[in-house]
Structure 1
Amino acid sequence: MHLSRDVLITLIKILSVIVLAMFLFFIGLMVGYGLIGDGSPMQVFNRTLWQHIFEFIQV
């Protein structure tokens, strides 16, 4: 029983780090696009922006 509790605590820690990393990644996207770039911070989540970026990379 002690082993399963340790595994659960470890999984919670790993998932917490992954969620925190994703949160910081999205905050970084918003800061980079909104403050450093000339766009609106929420516009970074626009699908057409990402389609344009992927088209630019593929060419």
Structure 2
Amino acid sequence: MKTSRYILYTILKIAAVFFIAFLLFLGGLIVGYGVIGDGSPMAVFDANIWANITRFLK
């Protein structure tokens, strides 16, 4: 019983780390594009913006 509880806690910790990393990534996108880049903070989620970014990187 202790082993299954340990595995569950470990999986929850890993999931929490990934979730926090994802939130920080989204926050970084908003700050980087909206504040530093002088654009609208929510415009970073527009598909046209990402098309321009991928076209720039190619």
Give the TM-score of the pair, scaled to structure 2.
Answer: 0.96
Counterpart for residue 48 of structure 2: 48
* CA displacement, residues 1-48 of structure 1 (integer Å, 9 cap, x when unaligned): 110100000000000000000000000100010111110000000000
Q: Which runs of 5+ in 2 are unaligned?
A: none
Tell me the residue number matched to 1:13: 13
Which 4+ stretches in 1 moved above 2 angstroms? Answer: none
State the match for 1:36 in structure 2. Answer: 36
- Please give the root-mean-square deviation of Cα atoms over the aligned residues, in Å: 0.5
Letter in 2 for 1:16: A
TM-score normalised to structure 1 length = 0.94
Aligned residues: 58
Question: Whole-Å Cα distance in 1 between the matches of residues 50 and 40 of structure 2?
Answer: 14
Structure 1: unaligned runs, 5 residues or longer: none
- Identity in percent: 50
Say yes or no: does 1:2 pair with 2:2.
Answer: yes
Instruction: Quote the Cα distance in structure 2 between the aligned partners of 1:25 and 1:54.
Output: 18
